[in-house]
């Protein structure tokens, strides 16, 4: 895959390589965030209906400074998304571990 070039704050160009495997992405429907005084850890989890164990699919470790920059970037992107697509409905309800649907039987 081609490199993407970004300008960093110092004005230097950074070349970022995205492999085909990473470009496919990993689906996650839950994120668990923990932190210490030196780092934030975000575990991206996939919960599937009828499966008693949820697996961490990816873990990202960030410095507090980068965690705050990520939060700002997410807020900015959500605002832009909502201006084009309408408000995201984010009700404060418990995450349904059974996905709210009927249970399948084999």
Residues 26-58: pLDDT tens digits? 999 999 999 999 999 999 999 998 888 999 999
Task: Give the pLDDT of residue 91.
Answer: 74
Encode pLDDT of 83-104 as tens digits: 999 999 877 656 655 555 555 5
With bands split at pLDDT 50, 70 and 90, how would you rate the model's confidence at 2? Answer: very low
The tokens describing 93, both together, are: 């309800």
How far, in Å, CA of 67 to CA of 73, rounded?
Answer: 10
Task: Give the pLDDT of residue 94.
Answer: 61
């Amino acid at each position: 895959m081609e490199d993407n070039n970004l300008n960093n704050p110092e004005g230097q160009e950074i070349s970022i390589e995205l492999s085909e495997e990473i470009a496919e992405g990993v689906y996650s429907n839950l994120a668990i965030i923990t932190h210490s005084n030196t780092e934030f850890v975000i575990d991206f989890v996939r919960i599937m209906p009828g499966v008693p164990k949820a697996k961490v699919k990816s873990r990202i470790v960030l410095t507090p400074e980068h965690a705050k920059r990520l939060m700002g970037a997410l807020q900015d992107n959500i605002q832009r998304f909502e201006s084009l697509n309408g408000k995201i409905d984010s009700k404060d309800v418990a995450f349904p571990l059974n996905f709210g649907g009927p249970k399948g039987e084999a």
